[in-house]
């Protein structure tokens, strides 16, 4: 598709500056690029941010996988999760040998419909994975109540929700286990990266070892710039550890997060104010005073989404689709989910990142109005 505009308003982008570049060069100059001091510092700063312990890994997907593995999930077990999420949520579950059970969504928030999830509970259900779509957490109190009543573990896929709040508490600072992503376009980035946050000491210990191929107690040696040459391995591990290069970026990004959050909230509110009166799109129910939105999604009314996307791109506006339902993929195919199947064709993600300008938001809204008249 040819872009006719003078410049492209990107859907998402990394926002980095001289501070991150200097930090990375410092790691390169010290010539210790793997897991070491910077990772330890970043974990300590994240632990302070959440007021509970964090374990850093190389992706948000790895965080989800290790959290589930640390709970002992395996073949024969089931995890309730909404179908409309990125494939990473499902792959993390099936990587343990467990089976993801696709659930329908609440059409207003695009988060798991707890009433539908309850219908899918079986004796094999061991956990529920609420996905915090765009930063919104949905009916989190109901989810935890349901989990307690049925002895389920809760692994929050909070990859969209870094820095957000729920009823005055920071997402990740409470509850069972929360997993975050620091990939290139998340609310803060390490280039790639993720974290598991919990008070469960067993989960933390198992995740620390499993991220280093299952080598027991290797974390402390790595922090000192050392290696374990004489060790034992009792459980399956993976090469999921974070590098000093990633952590160096993350340390600087965390310092900038208050400004990033302010801008994301501001631009989301501006979109909302501009589009709220539109007869062509519907908006999700989100509280931008509490959440830090990762994406801004609208629901189109009776329009050809791909035609609109092509038209906007021709005018220099990138858009996205978050996400293709997993229950329609060959690997996870299951029975029909009527709300998900109705809502998915309507979803359209508009540009959102801290480098936008007011005029960008106005331009996107103007062109979207033109496309949906």
Sign of CA dihedral 214, 215, 221, 222: negative
Residues whose CB falls within 8 Å of the CB of residue 227, separated by 6 or more in sequence, listed in order = 218, 221
Q: How do residues 246-271 score in pLDDT, each as one tens digit?
A: 999 999 999 999 999 999 999 999 99
H or E, element range at 196: strand 194-198
pLDDT of residue 294: 98
- Buried b / exposed e over 39-54, threshold 16 CB at 10 Å, is bbbbbebbeebbebbb
pLDDT value of position 4: 60
Q: What is the pLDDT of residue 6?
A: 74
The two most distant CA atoms of the chain are separated, in Å, by 69
Q: List Cβ neighbours of 326 (8 Å cut-off, separation of 6 or more).
A: 83, 84, 85, 87, 89, 90, 100, 102, 332
Using CA atoms, how far residue 353 sits from 86, 103, 107, in Å, is: 19, 30, 24
pLDDT of residue 7: 85
CATH topology of domain 18-252: 3.40.640
Q: Is the pLDDT of residue 287 over 60?
A: yes
First to last CA, the chain: 22
8 A C-beta contact, residue 145 and residue 166: no
Task: Render 50-103 in DSSP notation, one character per residue.
Answer: HTS-EEEES-HHHHHHHHHHHTT--TT-EEEEESSS-HHHHHHHHHTT-EEEEE
Tens-digit pLDDT profile for residues 169-219 = 999 999 999 999 999 999 999 999 999 999 999 999 999 999 999 999 999
Average pLDDT for 103-128: 98
Length of the chain: 373
128: which strand partners? 80, 154
Range of lowest pLDDT (39-43, 139-143, 255-259, 274-278): 274-278
pLDDT at 75 over 90: yes
Please state, as a whole number, how many other Cβ atoms lie within 10 Å of the Cβ of residue 262. Answer: 12
Q: How confident is the model at residue 373 (pLDDT cuts 50, 70, 90)?
A: confident
- Per-domain residue ranges for the chain? 18-252, 257-371
As a whole number, the mean pLDDT across the chain is 96
> What is the tens place of the pLDDT at every residue in 149-178?
999 999 999 999 999 999 999 999 999 999
Mean pLDDT on 17-34: 97
Pick the CATH number of 257-371 from 2.30.30.90, 3.40.50.10440, 3.90.1150.10, 1.10.600.10: 3.90.1150.10
**112 - beta bridge partners?**
105
Confidence of residue 241 (pLDDT cuts 50, 70, 90): very high
- How big is the CA angle at 67 (ends 219 and 120), to the nearest 5 degrees? 175
How far lies 308's CA from each of 11, 84, 274, 300, 350, in Å? 15, 21, 18, 10, 12
Evaluate if residue 281 carries a pLDDT over 70: yes
Indicate the pLDDT class of residue 3, thresholds 50, 70 and 90.
low
pLDDT at 2: 55
Mean pLDDT value of segment 353-361: 98
Q: How many CB atoms lie within 10 A of CB 235?
A: 12
């Amino acid at each position: 598709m040819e872009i006719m505009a003078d410049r492209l308003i990107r859907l998402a982008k990394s926002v980095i500056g001289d501070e991150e570049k200097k930090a990375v060069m410092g790691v390169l100059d010290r010539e210790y690029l793997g897991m070491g001091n910077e990772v330890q510092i970043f974990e300590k700063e994240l632990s302070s941010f959440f007021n509970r312990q964090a374990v850093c890994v190389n992706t948000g997907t790895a965080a989800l996988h290790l959290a589930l593995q640390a709970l002992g999930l395996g073949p024969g077990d089931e995890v309730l999760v909404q179908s409309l999420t990125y494939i990473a949520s499902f792959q993390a579950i099936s990587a343990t040998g467990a089976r993801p059970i696709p659930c329908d969504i609440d059409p207003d928030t695009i988060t798991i419909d707890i009433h539908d999830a309850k219908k899918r509970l079986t004796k094999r259900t061991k956990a529920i994975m609420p996905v915090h779509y765009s930063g919104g957490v949905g009916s989190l109190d109901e989810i935890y109540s349901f989990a307690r009543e049925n002895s389920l573990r809760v692994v929050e896929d909070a990859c969209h929700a870094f820095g957000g709040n729920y009823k005055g508490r920071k997402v990740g600072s409470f509850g069972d286990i929360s997993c975050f992503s620091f990939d290139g376009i998340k609310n803060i980035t390490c280039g790639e990266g993720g974290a598991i946050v919990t008070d469960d000491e067993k989960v933390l210990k198992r995740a620390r070892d499993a991220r280093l191929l299952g080598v027991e107690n290797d974390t402390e040696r790595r922090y000192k710039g050392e290696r374990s040459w004489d060790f034992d391995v009792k459980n399956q591990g993976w090469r999921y550890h974070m590098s000093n290069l990633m952590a160096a970026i993350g340390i600087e990004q965390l310092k900038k997060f208050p400004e990033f959050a302010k801008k994301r909230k501001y631009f989301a509110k501006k979109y909302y104010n501009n589009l709220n009166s539109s007869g062509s799109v519907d908006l999700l129910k989100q509280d931008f005073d509490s959440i830090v939105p990762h994406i801004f999604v609208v629901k189109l009314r009776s329009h050809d989404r791909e035609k609109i996307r092509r038209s906007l791109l021709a005018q220099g506006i990138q858009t996205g689709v978050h996400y293709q339902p997993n229950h329609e993929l060959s690997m996870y195919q299951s029975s029909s989910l009527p709300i998900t199947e109705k809502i998915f064709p309507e979803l359209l993600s508009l540009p959102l990142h801290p480098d936008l300008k007011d005029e960008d938001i106005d331009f996107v809204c103007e062109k979207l109005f033109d496309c949906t008249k």
